[in-house]
Chains A and B, each alone.
Chain A
Amino acid sequence: MNDMRVVERDVDINELKMKARDVDVFYGDIHAIKNVDVDIEDKTVTAFIGPSGCGKSTFLRCLNRMNDTIDICRVTGTITLDNEDIYDPKVDPVQLRAKVGMVFQKPNPFPKSIYDNVAYGPRIHGLSSNKADLDQIVERSLRRAALWNEAKDRLNEPGTGLSGGQQQRLCIARAVATNPEVLLMDEPCSALDPIATAQVEELIDELRSQYSVVIVTHSMQQAARVSQKTAFFHLGELVEFGETGHIFTNPDDPRTESYITGRIG
């Protein structure tokens, strides 16, 4: 893992985008997340790593209130976006999700054309005033997701007809099209082959220039490659959170060291 320091780690100048304090999550009687504090900085890739079932995806879904769609899930503590509490009753979770976009583990394009997939968010939120405007948003989003060259001639074909890696980039384009401030990615490469993974990782690094990206991953190499900050979760607790280089080379907690060296997890 000598490539860890390849990425420039100039994160100190970025300001805070999201802040989580004392967050606990319960699924019915199960205490899934225990007292987690995390700071997510703007224009930074933050990676959540940890063994399966450690709660990293659950915590990710708290950040855009996707857990609201699960009946038995209960979240306590405060999570703020730009210093506003997102669990405040005044906040509309639907509006919040437009600002905090999400890309899922399995590519899930809608059974519509490629164009309609990307235009879905802008149409719902009224981001375009006319067709030309919308065309432009679609093109920009597809370009940003590095899919434009492959998709520009087949915009009217169904999105489900693309390959797995293309579908996932389409989902990223779809999320980017709504102009989010934060982009959450839940194991975005776990269903992809190494070449598609490399493309998506490259894309994540580019997205960092405009968005704050939070990525959950099972691959520690991936976390090391794409992220500047890393949080290690274990059994629902946040064991360690800090700069990626620091976590992977010189972790403070023995559990972190055991995990990244392959002794637990």
Chain B
Amino acid sequence: MPLLWTLTIVLLLGAAGYVLGRRRAIASAGGDVRLLHSLPGYYGTNVAMFTIVPALLVLSVWMLIQPMIIQSQITAMISDSAIEAAGSRDLVMTDVRRVANGLDSAIAEGGLTEDEARALRTDSSDIRARLAETGVALGGDVTPEVLNAAQQYRTLSRTGNLLLSATVLVLAGLGLGYAYSRTHQEFRARNAVERAILSILMLASTIAILTTVGIVFSMLFETFNFFQLYPWQDFFFGLEWRPSFEGGSDLGLIPLLWGTIYISIIALLVSVPIGLFAAIYMAEYSSKRTRSIVKPLIEVLAGIPTIVYGLFALITVGPMLRDYFAEPLGLGTSSSSVMTAGIVMGIMLIPFISSLSDDIINAVPQSLRDGSYGLGATQSETVKQVILPAALPGIVGAVLLAASRAIGETMIVVLGAGAAARLDLNPFEAMTTVTVKIVGQLTGDTDFSSPEALVAFALGLTLFVITLGLNVFALYIVRKYREQYE
């Protein structure tokens, strides 16, 4: 039975459960809704919940586990010689899956009957040609071993799917029956629904956390592989970045990290004063009308895709800096430079800083302003001595968030600062960042067992740790000083 059908039946059962539960509750109270503990709808929802939720949970867990079990059983069937011939185990398994899926779709389209598919032999029929007719292209001829595995794969998945449908439907039925039998005038359906809502909310937050953990682990494994191929001291303290796919490459983190930090610092030097002053103007000085026009206009900057900023850096800012500053000053002849990327990235970050700071400044209680004005302070004295100190933790948080954005930025750097890993102080020199090199190492033909490709994961993890550290620090600052004016 196709999955969609199972799902539909479960949902229909749930709807039926709602109606039945509601009716039974009302009947148990003799038709007088006021005698019920909860509103009739809660009884219905409770039954529907017991019908749907466990069934769907089992369904999703099963669907995660079934492929793994089948995979391991099929893999055991394949001989080492076949693996060696194809190059790797994964490649053989891909072939098996393709053949199995091809046979399934051939049956679905009527090109083969179920019995024909089962009777297929590699020597008697050209499977590759027959599957090509139904739109499934195979890379090479099918060996008997692969065909055998594919047939086994099909049998296993079919049994698995049948079992799945049966289990899910039985579970839905059981849930419905259980909840229905419990539905009674005295039953506290409202509280049960409340608990269910709580667990849904908790599930949502858990998923977010688990995803983070998952990301970290996937990076961690590959990074571990990388450090088995490449010494960690050379990675963390290496001053040269010279990957070469013939081997013997230098994969030092320092030049990339330096480029990242250098560009981020310039970006923050541009964005923090401009953004903060804009925020102060909007929050303290401008009239309501001006603010309602200026704020959205600044926020337009946040809506520009970073690749467009990159273009701006490439064709406008870069050449301009080269012609008016770098060349006259004798500092370089490159139009891609740290300065270009830093300035353009700074422009990109202005709305971050200004919008967040504006909200934070507005959250400073009016009573503090009144207190300061009442003592004869001017507006700028009030801003400097009362409002900014009170808003400081929030502003620091905003700046650190902007910093993590700057560190993670890629497109502006590719187009603005180039791709040359260099350890240099001259801001008009082309440099590059960690993110650019991650992209660089993983694009094109990559061999995932070479340190040149795996280094991307080590770089990614390093970046993740740095931004995570920044965010944690930002949160710490905000928490520590938040209560001061509450």
The verdict on A160 contacting B371 (CB below 8 Å), with A71-B287, A178-B376 known, is no
Question: Does chain A have a CB within 8 A of B370?
Answer: yes
Q: Shortest beta-carbon distance, B392 to chain A, in Å?
A: 9
Q: Shortest beta-carbon distance, A127 to chain B, in Å?
A: 11
B390 A110 Cβ-Cβ under 8 A: yes
Q: Which residues of B contact A160 (CB under 8 A)?
A: 484-485
Question: Does chain B have a CB within 8 A of A75?
Answer: no
Q: Which residues of B contact A228 (CB under 8 A)?
A: none
Question: Does chain A have a CB within 8 A of B135?
Answer: no
Name which residue of chain A comes closest to B386, CB basis.
A110
Question: Does chain B have a CB within 8 A of A64?
Answer: yes
Question: Does chain B have a CB within 8 A of A125?
Answer: yes
Question: Does chain A have a CB within 8 A of B373?
Answer: yes
Which of B52-60, B377-385, B451-459, B463-471 makes up part of the contact surface? B377-385
Name which residue of chain A comes closest to B369, CB basis.
A69
Name which residue of chain A comes closest to B481, CB basis.
A111
A110 B368 Cβ-Cβ under 8 A: yes
Q: Shortest beta-carbon distance, A184 to chain B, in Å?
A: 8
B376 A171 Cβ-Cβ under 8 A: no
Q: Which residues of B contact A109 (CB under 8 A)?
A: 371
Question: Does chain A have a CB within 8 A of B367?
Answer: yes
A110 B372 Cβ-Cβ under 8 A: yes
B386 A104 Cβ-Cβ under 8 A: no
A120 to B373, CA, bound (A): 11
B376 A125 Cβ-Cβ under 8 A: yes
B365, B373, B390: the one within 8 Å of A69 (CB): B373
B377 A124 Cβ-Cβ under 8 A: yes
Name which residue of chain A comes closest to B381, CB basis.
A124
Name which residue of chain B comes closest to A123, CB basis.
B385
Chain A residues numbered 18-64 whose CB sits less than 8 Å from any CB in chain B: 64
B389 A175 Cβ-Cβ under 8 A: no
B374 A111 Cβ-Cβ under 8 A: no
Question: Does chain A have a CB within 8 A of B65?
Answer: no
Q: Which residues of A contact B374 (CB under 8 A)?
A: 64, 66, 97, 101-104, 175
B381 A104 Cβ-Cβ under 8 A: no
Chain B residues numbered 358-405 whose CB sits less than 8 Å from any CB in chain A: 365, 367-378, 381, 385-386, 389-390
Question: Does chain B have a CB within 8 A of A9?
Answer: no
Question: Does chain B have a CB within 8 A of A231?
Answer: no
A112 B376 Cβ-Cβ under 8 A: no
A178 B375 Cβ-Cβ under 8 A: yes
A124 to B377, CA, bound (A): 7
Question: Does chain B have a CB within 8 A of A76?
Answer: no
- Residue of B367, B374, B389 ringed by the most chain A CB atoms within 10 A: B374
A108 B370 Cβ-Cβ under 8 A: yes
A171 B373 Cβ-Cβ under 8 A: no
B287 A94 Cβ-Cβ under 8 A: no
Question: Does chain B have a CB within 8 A of A95?
Answer: yes
Question: Does chain B have a CB within 8 A of A158?
Answer: yes
Question: Does chain B have a CB within 8 A of A208?
Answer: no
Name which residue of chain B comes closest to A110, CB basis.
B386
Q: Mark A76-120, 1 if CB is under 8 A from B, else 0.
A: 000000000000000000111111011110101111100000001
Q: Which residues of A contact B381 (CB under 8 A)?
A: 124
Q: Which residues of A contact B371 (CB under 8 A)?
A: 104, 108-110, 171, 174
Name which residue of chain B comes closest to A102, CB basis.
B374
Q: Shortest beta-carbon distance, B422 to chain A, in Å?
A: 45
Q: Which residues of A contact B368 (CB under 8 A)?
A: 108, 110-111
Name which residue of chain B comes closest to A108, CB basis.
B367
Question: Does chain B have a CB within 8 A of A121?
Answer: yes
Q: Shortest beta-carbon distance, B370 to chain A, in Å?
A: 6
A94 B378 Cβ-Cβ under 8 A: yes
Q: Which residues of A contact B365 (CB under 8 A)?
A: 108
The verdict on A98 contacting B375 (CB below 8 Å), with A110-B386, A160-B484 known, is yes
Q: Would you mind naming 7 contact pairs between A and B with Cβ atoms under 8 Å apart?
A: A94-B376, A94-B377, A94-B378, A108-B370, A109-B371, A111-B389, A174-B375
| 9 A-B pairs with least C-beta separation | A98-B376, A102-B374, A108-B367, A111-B484, A97-B376, A121-B375, A108-B371, A111-B390, A111-B485
B residues with CB within 8 A of A: 287-288, 365, 367-378, 381, 385-386, 389-390, 484-485
